[in-house]
A and B are shown apart, each in its own frame.
Chain A
Amino acid sequence: KNQVEQSPQSLIILEGKNCTLQCNYTVSPFSNLRWYKQDTGRGPVSLTIMTFSENTKSNGRYTATLDADTKQSSLHITASQLSDSASYICVVSSVGDSNYQLIWGAGTKLIIKP
């Protein structure tokens, strides 16, 4: 069964600190992996997308990694800011012969404290 699991479920850190969020997936066939940021009560916004051949991708203070062998991805946030408080969602897409599917993780809720 295609699944995406994220950890931790929630995380609280102090402003200025770094943190890493994890995403493990069992999806086949794999097409790409995206990280989304979702502010409370808003729609998700894409941060990064990685295909099978990409190991690292950065977007400002956000750096995503992908290990296709172990089927793991991480999102590292550097020098956190209060505005980073949000849920971060990992999404894996799977493209079969005539089927396209997105498998969504439940998200990690990140709280940045001043």
Chain B
Amino acid sequence: DGGITQSPKYLFRKEGQNVTLSCEQNLNHDAMYWYRQDPGQGLRLIYYSQIVNDFQKGDIAEGYSVSREKKESFPLTVTSAQKNPTAFYLCASSIQPGSEQYFGPGTRLTVT
């Protein structure tokens, strides 16, 4: 998992509540990413950030929000607007966009 940490590993929430997933890296990487992984599907990009104070929507950004106030941190908020939030969430970072991505251990979110 390199120098990327995600917490918590398991998260349970009631429907209608917002929840924030943590992602921290000490690799001094400029780019950071959030993916969602569902059974039988490839990873889908939610948001990415190429540099501090900048981020871009990925393929499935609706119902999610992010911030990048520090180089080391890229938290993801799953809002109540996300229709099907139960999934495995992976955070990754890379030296620069296009270079190898290093992944954190993931957070499994269950919303009931």
Q: Tell me which residues across on chain A come within 8 A of B104, comparing CB atoms.
A: 43
Contact A95 B98 (CB under 8 A): yes
Q: Tell me which residues across on chain A come within 8 A of B45, comparing CB atoms.
A: 102
Task: List A66-97 residues whose CB lies under 8 Å from chain B.
Answer: 89, 93, 95
* Closest A residue to B35 using CB positions: A104
Known: A45-B103, A46-B100, A102-B45. 15 other contacts (CB 8 A): A4-B42, A31-B98, A41-B105, A41-B106, A42-B105, A42-B106, A43-B1, A44-B103, A95-B98, A100-B98, A103-B42, A104-B43, A104-B44, A105-B42, A106-B41
Contact A106 B105 (CB under 8 A): no
* Closest B residue to A45 using CB positions: B103
Q: Tell me which residues across on chain A come within 8 A of B68, comparing CB atoms.
A: none
Contact A43 B103 (CB under 8 A): yes
Q: Does A57 contact B (CB under 8 A)?
A: no
Q: Does B29 contact A (CB under 8 A)?
A: no
Say yes or no: A106-B40 contact (C-beta < 8 A), given A34-B100, A93-B98: yes
30 A-B contact pairs sorted by A residue (CB < 8 Å): A4-B42, A31-B98, A34-B100, A41-B88, A41-B106, A42-B1, A42-B105, A42-B106, A43-B1, A43-B4, A43-B90, A43-B106, A44-B43, A44-B103, A46-B100, A46-B101, A49-B100, A89-B42, A89-B43, A93-B98, A100-B97, A100-B98, A102-B101, A103-B42, A104-B42, A104-B43, A104-B44, A106-B41, A106-B42, A107-B42
